[in-house]
């Protein structure tokens, strides 16, 4: 083969490769439809957090939900997934990390929606079906399970400080640093970690003595404490600030202020 022929073959090969890759990229790209008025109505009527945002932030919230829903699969198991469920799952994902525009739930692949509660073995039948939501482990590592009833109830009552969707996404955020331990190192600057751990221990002791208005489930362990108190923070920030200013201030630092760069 002479040099000219070899040169042309390389050029043609490169062109074919570039076109083939472009075609592949365009095939895998998700087509994003404009945010529909029906979806916007759901947010306006069901999501109290959205109602408090400025117009600019509302648009940003919608875009973030759309981006999330284009990446994460939502599958109904024994139930249908309706537009309301997709919006509420999207809102649950975005509310906690709204102040972190670059945040991607890279550990999450799919959300399974179950009609009602289930047990620790993901069964919808039998005893101990008191689980409302769960972040998977092991073989289920990139899966989240949510009960449709619990998801919807969480948003239907925005005053009761309970929101299962937000609770499960907070567990996922907590898990980002490798351990689900109630200490979200991705959100908290180092100097606030110790005060946060002390505040958790103190409040868990108060709950045990029945001296607290925080849902007693928070006393299960640190991870549950962080998830339950985050529900409180996002649903009733005013009340948390009034009754637990220490927790409010630390959670505000975690969720609303960009983490300061660590000093080595
Ligand atoms: Zn939990």
Structure tokens at 157: 């009552």
pLDDT at 191: 94
Which residues contact residue 217 at a Cβ distance below 8 angstroms, ignoring those fewer than 6 apart? 224, 228
pLDDT, residue 137, reads 78
- Rounded distance, CA 43 to CA 97, Å? 17
Task: Tell how far the Cα of 43 is from the centroid of ligand 1, in angstroms.
Answer: 24
- Measured between alpha carbons, how far is 79 from 112 in angstroms, rounded to an integer? 10
pLDDT for 264: 47
Q: From ligand 1's centre to the CA of 50, what distance in Å?
A: 24
Per-residue pLDDT of the chain in tens (264 residues, 90 and over written 9): 566 666 555 555 555 554 555 444 444 444 556 789 999 999 999 999 999 999 999 999 999 999 999 999 999 999 999 999 999 999 999 999 999 999 999 989 999 999 987 766 666 666 555 678 888 777 788 999 999 999 999 999 988 999 999 999 999 999 999 999 999 999 999 999 999 999 999 999 999 999 899 999 999 999 999 999 999 999 999 999 999 999 999 999 999 876 665 554
Q: What token pair was written down for 195? A: 């005060």
Quote the ligand 1 centre to 39 CA distance (angstroms): 28
Every domain of the chain with CATH number 3.40.390.10 lies at 177-264
Distance of CA 14 from the midpoint of ligand 1 (Å): 52
- Per-residue model confidence (pLDDT) at position 257: 76
**Which CATH number describes the domain made up of 177-264?**
3.40.390.10
**Would you tell me which CATH number, out of the four given (3.40.50.720, 3.40.50.150, 1.10.472.150, 3.40.50.170), belongs to the domain 30-157?**
1.10.472.150
Check if the beta carbon of residue 171 is closer than 8 Å to that of residue 223.
yes
Q: How many angstroms separate the alpha carbon of residue 16 from the centre of ligand 1? A: 51
DSSP E strands: which ranges in the chain?
A: 73-76, 110-114, 133-135, 143-147
Q: How far is the CA of 227 from the centre of ligand 1 (A)?
A: 6
List the structure tokens of 122.
Answer: 């993901």
Is residue 145 within 8 Å of 133, Cβ to Cβ?
A: yes
Q: How far is the CA of 248 from the centre of ligand 1 (A)?
A: 20
The alpha carbon of 13 and the centre of ligand 1 are apart by a number of angstroms equal to 54
Q: What is the pLDDT of residue 10?
A: 57
Residue intervals in the chain for CATH 1.10.472.150: 30-157
């Amino acid at each position: 083969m002479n040099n000219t022929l070899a040169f042309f073959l390389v050029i043609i090969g490169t062109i074919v490769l570039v076109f083939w890759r472009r075609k592949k990229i365009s095939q895998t790209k998700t087509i994003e439809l404009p945010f529909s008025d029906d979806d916007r109505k759901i947010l306006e009527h069901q999501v109290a957090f959205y109602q408090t945002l400025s117009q600019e932030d509302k648009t940003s919230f919608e875009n973030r939900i759309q981006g999330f829903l284009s990446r994460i699969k939502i599958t109904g198991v024994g139930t249908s997934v309706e537009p309301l469920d997709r919006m509420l799952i999207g809102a649950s994902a975005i509310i906690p990390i709204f102040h972190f525009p670059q945040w991607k739930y890279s550990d999450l692949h799919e959300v399974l929606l179950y009609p009602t509660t289930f047990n620790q073995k993901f069964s919808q039948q039998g005893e101990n079906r008191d689980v409302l939501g769960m972040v998977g482990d092991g073989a289920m590592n990139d899966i989240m399970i949510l009960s449709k009833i619990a998801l919807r109830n969480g948003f239907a009552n925005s005053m009761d400080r309970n929101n299962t969707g937000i609770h499960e996404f907070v567990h996922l955020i907590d898990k980002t640093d490798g351990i689900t331990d109630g200490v979200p190192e991705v959100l908290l600057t180092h100097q606030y970690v110790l005060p946060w751990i002390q505040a958790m221990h103190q409040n868990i002791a108060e709950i045990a003595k029945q001296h607290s208005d925080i849902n007693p489930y928070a006393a299960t362990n640190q991870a549950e404490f962080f998830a339950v108190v985050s529900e409180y923070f996002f649903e009733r920030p005013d009340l948390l600030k009034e009754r637990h200013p220490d927790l409010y201030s630390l959670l505000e630092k975690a969720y609303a202020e960009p983490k300061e760069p660590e000093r080595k």
